A and B are shown apart, each in its own frame.
Chain A
Amino acid sequence: MSFFQDAFVNVILALPLVGAYALFALGIVVIYRASRVLNLAHGAIATLPAYVAYSLAPHIGSIPAVVGGVLAGGLLGVAVERFVVRRLRSVSQTAQTVGTVAVFGLIVALMAKIWGTGLLRPVTVVPHAAYHVGHALLFSDGLILIVVAGVATAGFFALFRFTSLGLAMRLAADNRRAAALMGIDPERTTAAAWLIGGLFAGLGGVLLAGASGLHPYILPLQMLPAFVAALIGGLDSAGGALLGSLVVGMAIGIVPSLGSIGHQVGAPQAALTLLAFVIMALRGKRFQASDVRTGLA
């Protein structure tokens, strides 16, 4: 196969990943905008719904189970905000971030205890099938991931553009205090952001598990590239996060077909790390004033 054929196949194979990263990265961004927190628990919040769906499926059928799992993700997001992140708001941003680390550890440990540390065959929404796209073989699990991610992303942007909740959330993200003066309850918009973040994480988690298997340690770490995607977009831009997801997914698809260097294990990750660092170096500021919230100003 020529390079282009090879690359084309890899790109097609990477498309489901792009969808999953987009779902995760949008969640990370909406949460960051609402709470100024980097939600490191995102991978765990994504994985638990996949397990919930796995456990519900034998009792209520796979589609209701998937819906139940995704709802569990939303609830989990709200709970994390309510019981951990909000309580640490007065301490510091670092404490909030470390708090999400603790939540990550807690959820992963609970999943490992409840469902064991073996690789499970997850719930699938559609019957197993494979389709030819050129030389590439796309499985039904991957295809549904692409479709659902596309629909969810459209819904995400519609929500923020056309609904009053979306408007309120954008206002509160820009200026919490001013939004409160306008009659918007910032606690509610923050909870809404975490709900959306959790739902999207759950959606991505359930579908990604369908494509790549269910494991309490592996699946949460599989969404780490979504942080790179969110960062490429600047952490606070949903459109940027989509672009970032595309870049990350494509890099994971294309880099391995770039000769001997690309064939090395982890070459896409190395390339993306370099890209992320260059972006940060270009965007960063040199000095930081001390935090106004410390009450010294």
Chain B
Amino acid sequence: MVRLPQLSIRRTSVPRLPALPQIGPRARRLAISLLALALIVSWPWTLPLPLAIVTDAVHACEYAMVAVSLVLLTGWVGQISLAQGAFVGVGAFVTALVFRKANIPFPASLPIAVAASALVAVLLGIVALRVRGLYLAVATLIFAWMADAFLFSASWLVGAGGSASLPTGTIGKTNTFVSFDLHDVRVFYLVILAGLCLGLFGASNLRDSKTGRAFFAVRGSEMAAVSLGIDVTRYKLLAFGLSGAIAGLAGHLQIVGDGSAVPAQFNFLTSLFYLSIAVVGGLTSLSGAVAAGILFSALNEVFFRVTALNGYIDIVAAMLLLTVLIVYPGGLAASGQTLGRRLQTIASALRSRLSGSAAVEALDGSIVQLSEHGSSRASAPSTVETVVGEQGSLLELIARARPEVEDRLELEPVLEARGIIVRFGGLTAVNDVSLMVRRGEIVGLIGPNGAGKTTLFNAIAGLNEPTAGSVHIFGKDATALPVHARAALGVGRTFQLIQLFPQLSVFDNLLAATHLLNPTGFLQHLVVSERALYEEKAARERVTEIIDRLGLHDVAHRTVSGLPFGVLRIVELARALVTGAPFVMLDEPASGLDDAETQKLADLLLTLRNDLGITFLLIEHDVAMVTSVTDYMYVINRGQLLAEGTPGDIQRNEDVIAAYLGQPAGQVAEEVGA
């Protein structure tokens, strides 16, 4: 967590305990890490274990690698894959193919095999762009079936006789220092371990980056993701490509280690087996994937060794998967976390028993934390100038406060929708509506139920295609632009049915909204470049600012699902603010809020407009709220523009009153009288 600078300034005034010498724990951690590394690398030679155990470790690495590829695709991006075995198979058979045809041996064939698997996965991903959920499951199932029946039966790929072979050999010259004899399973263990570590390194770097958050956003709500400027198509294909690459690496190393491969190794049953491993591991956790890989490999060995258990491995594996699904959905990852927490509790209890002073220290620490918390509340900036003064980043994209003008026509247009017509089949939902929002205004769009407000809204945002009409955003023609490109022009939005990313914390939800502000690319995230780190820090600071400003500290690290409705509305507004968009569209922001909450929201909108100069367009049912905050209003009924004007004009407009009450006001009175 990055703290606000002003917090660190305050902290100096709070009496603090002398800092503990830093060298102790860090040196200890380094030593433990080095020791663990040495052990993981050297145990096949140093420990008196049979070679079969090393073979098991090789299998564990292979399982874990494919499980990691599934964690990325299914766990993070939400794209279920029943064809992972096919990607592995492509990696294996292409390795043999390039050796057979072009005589390219092991280390050189690695990038070719990985690229081939990634390519096949991206091709499947292109289909996946159009389908989701169960249809995607069917698509990948059909793909696995086709790979088994067609691709892996083709003699050009697999080779004559239905089996591909690859002479296992050596890397480098024998009897020189740089020589690896891959016939030795211990040497091969190091190779596949390196492959697994490579996969884990890349995947874990991505998880904590802009790319990873875009993945989670796609899983959480594609509609919200595009509205934050995330190109869903791009990130889905990227996920398929990466997942295919990791699975292909596993297949490549598998055939390098085994020397041969047959199509039956990569059929649909194998894909289901890999999915089982990933699910047992927890599906979203990398360490869970590794643990599950080790577990399944160990089970294999045990059920093979113990005669009484022969033939029960598949039954137990299936039972394990069912148990995890029904009884323990978090999988091994969750049990690992629980165990970790327990161990920590035990360790701290032991420590406090060993030294009585430690408890006092811990208590003091919490007091410091408490007072820090208090001071941060007290020092929360009341106006935006304080934020700007101390941070200087918030307003880079946001214009000055609204200038005082006599006539709104003097203001520069932010949104200009002209002659919008939306037809669904024979129904004309929006018929020739034009509206304009000018810089620094709060514009309201009201109308009875079914008037076409949300349809018009979506046409402006790009979620549906208008039959006719044009949309200009900040003077640029956006009519033909996809949603994410409109977001890049500087449009933020909230949704009538809240579209937050349910599995993420409030903080991470907001962090996902820094997508457009972060110019770094996927490769920089993969290797954690200096630039990527800098941008990451800036993004976190920005989110912290918004959280402070909207008073969301208390819920910042809580998962979104389960928070009260009113808070969710504010979080969604905060997310739109984090994007830095100078123009924010709100779809019924007050629906579901009580009167006090609605009043608070109205005040907040006015403050944001006055202090930050943000322009708002809001759809609202609550006429009182709209008339109290807006500068200008549009009223639509039955898809047509009924009236426009200042709130005062609108309140006096006979047509509007009729539309809301069903008939002219006078007539109502007459009927009541009769």
Contacts and interface: CB of A to CB of B under 8 A. Distances in A.
B326 interface: yes
A48 B463 CA distance: 48
A297 B498 contact: yes
Given A266-B146, A269-B146, A105 B130 contact: no
Contacts of B501: 290
B221 A108 contact: no
A276 interface: yes
Interface string B128-143: 0111111101110111
Contact of A88 (B222, B276, B326, B568): B326
Nearest to B219: A290
Interface string A139-151: 0000000000000
A103 B321 CA distance: 9
B141 A40 contact: yes
B32 interface: no
B296 interface: no
A106 B315 contact: yes
A126 interface: no
B145 A225 contact: yes
A221 interface: yes
Nearest to A107: B318
Interface string B467-502: 000000000000000010000000000000111111
A272 B145 CA distance: 10
B650 interface: no
Nearest to B280: A102
Contacts of B137: 38, 40, 94, 97
Interface string B57-90: 0000000000000000010001010100000000
A296 B145 contact: no
Chain A contact residues: over half helix, strand or loop, or mixed? helix
A217 B463 CA distance: 46
Interface in B310-343: 311-312, 314-315, 317-319, 321-322, 325-326, 329
A38 B483 CA distance: 31
Interface in A82-104: 84, 87-88, 91, 93-95, 97-99, 101-104
B232 interface: yes
Nearest to A94: B80
B561 A296 contact: yes
A292 interface: yes
A106 B502 contact: no
Contact of A280 (B127, B148, B150, B321): B127
Nearest to B264: A217
Interface residues of A, number: 60
Contact of B315 (A99, A113, A231): A113
Interface in A191-232: 217, 221, 224-225, 227-228, 230-231
B138 A287 contact: no
A109 B500 CA distance: 41
Interface residues of B, number: 64
Contacts of A38: 134, 137-138
Interface in B542-563: 560-561
A288 interface: yes
A269 B135 contact: no
Contact of B325 (A98, A110, A225, A276): A98
B112 interface: no
A287 B322 CA distance: 31
A265 interface: yes
A290 B499 contact: yes
B326 A287 contact: no
A268 to B, nearest CB: 8
Nearest to B319: A106
A3 interface: no
A284 interface: yes
A112 B316 CA distance: 13
Contacts of A37: 134
B257 interface: no
A165 B276 CA distance: 37
A170 interface: no
A241 interface: no
B150 A290 contact: no
Contacts, number: 189
Contacts of B312: 113
Interface stretch (B166-174, B243-251, B265-273): B265-273
A286 interface: yes
Contacts of A105: 269, 272-273, 276, 314, 317-318, 321
Contacts of A221: 145, 148, 267-269
A146 B502 CA distance: 49
B279 A98 contact: yes
A183 interface: no
A253 B615 CA distance: 64
B150 A265 contact: yes
Contacts of A108: 269, 314
Contacts of B154: 264-266
A259 interface: no
Given A38-B137, A284-B131, A267 B150 contact: yes
A215 to B, nearest CB: 13
Contact of B133 (A93, A276, A292): A93
Contacts of B608: none
A1 interface: no
A287 B276 contact: no
Contacts of B499: 289-290, 296
Contacts of B138: 38, 227, 230-231, 235, 276
A181 interface: no
A297 B497 contact: yes
A160 interface: no
A109 B318 CA distance: 8
A94 B273 CA distance: 16
A116 to B, nearest CB: 9
Contacts of A112: 311, 314
A102 B325 contact: yes
A273 B143 contact: yes
Given A289-B223, A289-B499, A235 B561 contact: no
A161 B63 CA distance: 49
B329 A292 contact: no
A295 B565 CA distance: 10
A157 interface: no
B49 to A, nearest CB: 29
B322 A102 contact: yes
A101 B139 contact: no
B586 interface: no
Interface in A253-297: 264-267, 269-270, 272-273, 276-277, 280-281, 283-290, 292, 294-297
Contacts of A102: 276, 318, 321-322, 325
A101 B279 CA distance: 11
Contact of A109 (B141, B150, B315, B483): B315
A88 B325 contact: yes
Interface of A: 32, 36-38, 40, 84, 87-88, 91, 93-95, 97-99, 101-106, 108-110, 112-113, 217, 221, 224-225, 227-228, 230-231, 235, 264-267, 269-270, 272-273, 276-277, 280-281, 283-290, 292, 294-297
Q: Which 8 A-B pairs have the closest CB atoms?
A: A284-B130, A266-B150, A109-B314, A106-B318, A290-B221, A105-B318, A273-B146, A269-B149
15 contacts: A38-B137, A40-B137, A98-B279, A105-B317, A109-B315, A224-B142, A266-B149, A267-B150, A270-B149, A273-B143, A276-B138, A277-B142, A288-B221, A289-B497, A294-B502
